[in-house]
């Protein structure tokens, strides 16, 4: 704008053209997510001396090699300074340097360094890491070690405000995903906020990004040039991030187009030859110009099948193979769906991951997807939401999120059942699925110990932590002195079968067995029935209180109790208590959940919530709403203020008001 400036009284007016232009990807056909118009990230005006640094690209290898490319506007060559946590380590000129024994960037120890380029008065500092990331047909290797990739796809959108989420919410999403037992995120289907990538660098959460687009390739020159331009910009924007292990350089699920895709490869070779590329398709014999053959495998249509064998991906011969999507639309699941559906949703993810991890031809799997996301009238469930997430749109976890969490290292347990007979058809008590990384779980009913249960390695042989499947709700509790222990065991098995499937499902062999027992021990039918009722049905009994104790290294690390819910409370949890109003508004997510006296979220609760605020803050979204699957989230944004100022959010629900105290301060 320099040419237009006057000494005083300048006004800069920015016009945003938010129309869908069919020559700009992803437009031209249909898309299953929402695209938004407007300014939703920081916008800066910068001033430069006549010669200045436009861009610094630095990459570090685990052996300590640093390579730098700096783009200068004007004249001169830069001088570099290497920093570790603010401490100057070395200075150099030229485009490469060797730093002995660097702390290597990895998923467990994401150490970051900074490089400052200096040209006269102008300085530019960028963060980077020392690491080697390599996809090979034999798998993915980080710093020379094979690492199985377990990932989720992310849309960066939120309820009410779409993608207009500031830094703090981008950080929250990265934190949540890192704590979700995964090591990789795909930024489907467009480059995402720099803040998100910054946080992934800090956390050691790996990322594959993607150029904008969805299934459609425009044939006109403009569309294709825009696509190339996006690829260029994405690489230049993201190439300093150590978390980024490959560029997604193919329009998601598009047909082959060698002309377009070879030109994207050429762009990558020019801008960042050291990093590999990924291409995501949904067919098996695609022409693969990228280093990694990404395959969206939606063949899981039951609990019997997870993914197709890697050998079937003919187009990926000699390339690294990665499952890049699965599940999603095949089994949309709402956070307020019946337990049985939410459990099956989690188990389908378990099946996909088990088979993908077990097939050494795959580097791993990224499934669809992290969060439910906004869509339009043609997709979604009529409510303009694609309920494909393992978290809902408010980031409240479904059981599938518990499954992923259980694959991580942090001790975790969730029992995927309310254990309320009325929650199941015919008041049956189906198998209980426990998502945990415990070595075993001890189950009790009231004071009776039922037994010890181990991860189900038979059905999920490849998962680090298979679900624990409890199919015995009687176990050690069975105590009928007149019946021999062997017969007792068989009776327990028959009762359990009946509890899970109903009397009507008793097989001929079960009936004959029970008749034999009656004859052997001189029992009449009313005794059998009363014994069944005693051990299985538990209305009003202490045995309707279930306790699960999780053990690791012989030590109990968690206890979960489920029982009749009688006392309810509202849990109100802000992610932070200070908002900093700076380049943009700041935002805090306040998680809300209705819980019973055992801490169990009530998944069918839809109680009304009313919110009022005081101080320099505003509610992003409605002030009166209903709980959604027993939970929801409030998004509060900051308003300008001159000094640190207190603010309060009053949340009224279940007849009480809970206050949440915040502080808003200027940057
Ligand atoms: C895929 C597509 C994703 C999403 C998903 C739903 O085909 O790549 O964007 O629509 O289906 O399962």
- Does residue 30 line the site of ligand 1, with CB under 6 A? no
Known active-site residue 325: yes
- Does residue 372 line the site of ligand 1, with CB under 6 A? no
pLDDT band at 427 (very low <50, low <70, confident <90, very high): confident
The C-alpha atoms of residue 373 and residue 389 are separated, in whole angstroms, by 8
- Mean pLDDT for 533-543 is 78
The C-alpha atoms of residue 562 and residue 558 are separated, in whole angstroms, by 13
Predicted confidence at residue 503, as pLDDT, reads 85
Please give the full DSSP string across 461-483, using - where no structure is assigned: TTSSSPPEEE--SSGGG---TTS
User: Ligand 1 centre from 342 Cα, in Å?
Assistant: 20
* pLDDT value at 540 more than 70: no
Candidate list 325, 344, 355, 549, residue with the active-site label: 325
**Two structure tokens written together for 26:** 């992803």
- Quick: pLDDT tens for 612-653: 999 999 999 999 999 999 999 999 999 999 999 999 999 999
Predicted confidence at residue 379, as pLDDT, reads 86
- Quick: pLDDT tens for 596-616: 999 999 999 999 999 999 999
pTM of the model: 0.96
- Does residue 296 line the site of ligand 1, with CB under 6 A? yes
For the CA of 280, the nearest atom of ligand 1: 8
**Two structure tokens written together for 584:** 């943009």
Q: What is the mean pLDDT of the chain?
A: 96
Determine which of 79-88, 146-155, 246-255, 379-388 has the lowest per-residue pLDDT on average.
379-388
- Mean pLDDT for 550-566 is 96
Percent of all residues in the chain with a pLDDT value above 70, rounded to a whole number: 99
Determine which of 55-69, 102-116, 416-430, 588-602 has the lowest per-residue pLDDT on average.
416-430
Percent of all residues in the chain with a pLDDT value above 90, rounded to a whole number: 92
The C-alpha atoms of residue 637 and residue 45 are separated, in whole angstroms, by 24
* CA separation, residue 69 to residues 118, 228, 269, 501 (Å): 13, 21, 14, 67
Predicted confidence at residue 188, as pLDDT, reads 97
- Does residue 213 line the site of ligand 1, with CB under 6 A? no
The C-alpha atoms of residue 16 and residue 656 are separated, in whole angstroms, by 44
For the chain, how are helix, strand and coil distributed in percent, rounded to 5?
Answer: 25, 35, 45
**Two structure tokens written together for 244:** 């980024």
> Ligand 1: which of 29, 32, 189, 283 to mutate, most ligand atoms within 8 Å of CB?
32
Question: Nearest residue CA, atom 10 of ligand 1?
Answer: 32
The C-alpha atoms of residue 429 and residue 419 are separated, in whole angstroms, by 7
- Is the CB of residue 310 less than 8 Å from the CB of residue 364? no
Q: Where are the alpha helices (DSSP H) in 282-374?
A: 339-358
User: Ligand 1 centre from 189 Cα, in Å?
Assistant: 10
- Residue 354: CA atoms inside 13 Å, Cβ hemisphere, count? 23
Predicted confidence at residue 517, as pLDDT, reads 95
- Does residue 272 line the site of ligand 1, with CB under 6 A? no
pLDDT band at 157 (very low <50, low <70, confident <90, very high): very high
For the CA of 298, the nearest atom of ligand 1: 12
User: Ligand 1 centre from 260 Cα, in Å?
Assistant: 22
Q: Determine how many CB atoms are found less than 10 A away from the CB of residue 107.
A: 17
- Is the CB of residue 282 less than 8 Å from the CB of residue 295? yes
- Quick: pLDDT tens for 225-234: 999 999 999 9
Cross-strand pairs, 162: 158
Residue indicated by tokens 């990924």? 278
> Ligand 1: which of 29, 251, 301, 325 to mutate, most ligand atoms within 8 Å of CB?
325
For the CA of 328, the nearest atom of ligand 1: 12
Candidate list 116, 210, 238, 253, residue with the active-site label: 253
> Ligand 1: which of 190, 301, 329 to mutate, most ligand atoms within 8 Å of CB?
329
The C-alpha atoms of residue 648 and residue 660 are separated, in whole angstroms, by 6
* pLDDT value at 403 more than 70: yes
Q: Determine how many CB atoms are found less than 10 A away from the CB of residue 389.
A: 30
Predicted confidence at residue 627, as pLDDT, reads 97
- Does residue 297 line the site of ligand 1, with CB under 6 A? no
The C-alpha atoms of residue 123 and residue 100 are separated, in whole angstroms, by 25
User: Ligand 1 centre from 196 Cα, in Å?
Assistant: 22
Q: Is the dihedral of CA 180, 183, 189, 193 positive or negative?
A: positive
Predicted confidence at residue 625, as pLDDT, reads 96
For the CA of 329, the nearest atom of ligand 1: 12
Residue 373 is given by DSSP the state: E
* pLDDT value at 539 more than 70: no
Predicted confidence at residue 1, as pLDDT, reads 85
* pLDDT value at 159 more than 70: yes
- Does residue 210 line the site of ligand 1, with CB under 6 A? no
pLDDT band at 331 (very low <50, low <70, confident <90, very high): very high
- Mean pLDDT for 530-553 is 87
Known active-site residue 304: no
User: Ligand 1 centre from 33 Cα, in Å?
Assistant: 9
* pLDDT value at 521 more than 90: yes
Q: Determine how many CB atoms are found less than 10 A away from the CB of residue 642.
A: 8
User: Ligand 1 centre from 100 Cα, in Å?
Assistant: 45
The C-alpha atoms of residue 666 and residue 657 are separated, in whole angstroms, by 29
- Quick: pLDDT tens for 234-293: 999 999 999 999 999 999 999 999 999 999 999 999 999 999 999 999 999 999 999 999
- Does residue 254 line the site of ligand 1, with CB under 6 A? no
Q: State the Cα angle at 113 between 108 and 118, rounded to 5°.
A: 165
Predicted confidence at residue 378, as pLDDT, reads 86
The C-alpha atoms of residue 420 and residue 403 are separated, in whole angstroms, by 21
User: Ligand 1 centre from 374 Cα, in Å?
Assistant: 13
Q: Determine how many CB atoms are found less than 10 A away from the CB of residue 542.
A: 11
- Residue 113: CA atoms inside 13 Å, Cβ hemisphere, count? 27
- Is the CB of residue 311 less than 8 Å from the CB of residue 361? yes
For the CA of 32, the nearest atom of ligand 1: 10
User: Ligand 1 centre from 385 Cα, in Å?
Assistant: 13
For the CA of 386, the nearest atom of ligand 1: 6
The C-alpha atoms of residue 197 and residue 235 are separated, in whole angstroms, by 13
Q: Determine how many CB atoms are found less than 10 A away from the CB of residue 599.
A: 12
Nearest CA to 103 among 89, 84, 80?
84
User: Ligand 1 centre from 185 Cα, in Å?
Assistant: 15
């Amino acid at each position: 704008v320099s040419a237009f400036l006057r000494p005083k009284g300048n006004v800069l007016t920015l016009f945003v053209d938010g129309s869908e232009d069919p020559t700009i990807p992803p437009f031209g056909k249909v898309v299953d997510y929402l695209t938004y118009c407007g300014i939703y990230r920081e916008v800066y005006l910068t001033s430069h001396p006549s010669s200045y640094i436009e861009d610094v690209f630095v990459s570090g290898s685990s052996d300590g090699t640093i390579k730098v490319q700096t783009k200068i506007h004007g004249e001169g060559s830069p001088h570099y300074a290497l920093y570790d946590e603010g401490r100057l380590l070395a200075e150099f000129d030229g485009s490469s340097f060797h730093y002995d024994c660097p702390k290597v960037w990895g998923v467990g120890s994401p150490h970051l360094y900074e490089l400052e380029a200096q040209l006269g008065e102008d300085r530019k500092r960028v963060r980077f890491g020392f690491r080697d990331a390599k996809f090979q047909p034999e798998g993915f290797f980080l710093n020379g070690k094979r690492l199985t990739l377990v990932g989720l796809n992310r849309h960066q959108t939120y309820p009410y405000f779409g993608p207009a989420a500031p830094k703090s919410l981008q950080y929250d999403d990265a934190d949540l995903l890192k704590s979700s037992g995964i090591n990789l995120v795909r930024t489907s289907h467009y480059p995402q906020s720099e803040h998100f990538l910054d946080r992934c660098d800090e956390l050691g959460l790996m990322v594959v990004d993607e150029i904008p687009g969805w299934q459609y390739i425009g044939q006109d020159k403009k569309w294709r040039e825009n696509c190339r331009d996006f690829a260029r910009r994405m690489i230049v924007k993201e190439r300093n991030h150590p978390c980024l292990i490959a560029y997604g350089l193919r329009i998601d699920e598009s047909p082959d187009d060698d002309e377009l895709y070879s030109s994207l490869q050429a762009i990558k070779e020019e801008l960042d030859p050291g990093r590999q590329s990924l291409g995501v398709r949904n067919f098996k014999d695609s022409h693969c110009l990228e280093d990694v053959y990404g395959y969206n495998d939606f063949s899981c249509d039951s609990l019997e099948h997870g993914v197709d064998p890697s050998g079937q991906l003919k187009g990926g011969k000699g390339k690294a193979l990665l499952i890049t999507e699965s599940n999603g639309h095949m089994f949309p699941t709402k956070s307020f769906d019946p337990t049985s559906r939410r459990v099956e949703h989690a188990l389908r993810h378990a099946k996909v991951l088990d088979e993908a991890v077990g097939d050494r031809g795959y580097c791993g799997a990224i499934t669809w997807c992290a969060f439910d996301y906004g869509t339009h009238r043609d997709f979604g469930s009529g409510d303009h939401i694609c309920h494909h997430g393992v978290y809902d749109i408010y980031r409240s976890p479904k059981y599938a999120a518990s499954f992923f969490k259980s694959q991580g290292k942090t001790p975790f347990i969730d029992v995927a059942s309310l254990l309320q007979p009325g929650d199941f058809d015919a008041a049956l008590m189906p198998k209980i699925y426990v998502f945990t990384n415990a070595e075993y779980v001890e189950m009790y009913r009231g004071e009776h110990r039922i037994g010890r249960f181990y991860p189900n390695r038979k059905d999920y042989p490849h998962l680090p932590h298979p679900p624990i499947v409890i199919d015995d709700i009687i176990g050690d509790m069975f105590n009928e002195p007149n019946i021999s222990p062997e017969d007792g065991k068989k009776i327990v098995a028959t009762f359990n079968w009946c509890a899970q499937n109903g009397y009507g499902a008793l097989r001929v062999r079960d009936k004959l067995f029970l008749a034999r027992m009656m004859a052997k021990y001189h029992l009449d039918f009313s005794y059998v029935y009363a014994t069944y009722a005693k051990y299985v049905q538990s209305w009003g009994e202490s045995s309707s209180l279930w306790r699960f104790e999780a053990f690791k290294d012989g030590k109990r690390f968690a206890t979960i109790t489920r029982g009749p819910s009688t006392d309810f409370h509202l849990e109100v949890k802000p992610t932070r208590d200070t908002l900093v109003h700076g380049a943009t508004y700041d935002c805090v997510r306040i998680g809300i959940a209705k819980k019973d006296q055992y801490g169990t979220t009530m998944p069918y609760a839809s109680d009304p919530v009313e919110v009022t605020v005081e101080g320099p803050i505003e509610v992003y979204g409605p002030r009166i709403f209903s709980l959604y699957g027993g939970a929801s989230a409030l998004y509060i944004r900051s308003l300008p203020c001159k000094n640190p100022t207190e603010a309060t959010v009053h949340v009224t629900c279940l007849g009480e008001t809970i206050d949440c105290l915040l502080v808003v301060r200027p940057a």
